[in-house]
Amino acid sequence: MEYQGDKLDTQWDMFCALIGSILMVTKFYKIHDTNINNLENHKK
């Protein structure tokens, strides 16, 4: 199998995706919860 960069290129990409997803969840969870609560209140 050939590699584009180094042998750990795929693992580095997955690590960056993990860090990015953790940051986004911790940053936007309040906005998400607020929007879900607004939708639930709108249905009532």
Q: What is the pTM of this model?
A: 0.59
Q: Which two tokens stand for residue 5?
A: 């960069």
CB atoms near residue 15 (< 10 Å): 11
pLDDT digits (tens, 9 = 90+) for 6-21: 777 888 999 999 999 9
The total number of residues shown for the chain amounts to 44
User: What's the CA gap between 37 and 6, in Å, rounded?
Assistant: 46
pLDDT at 33: 92
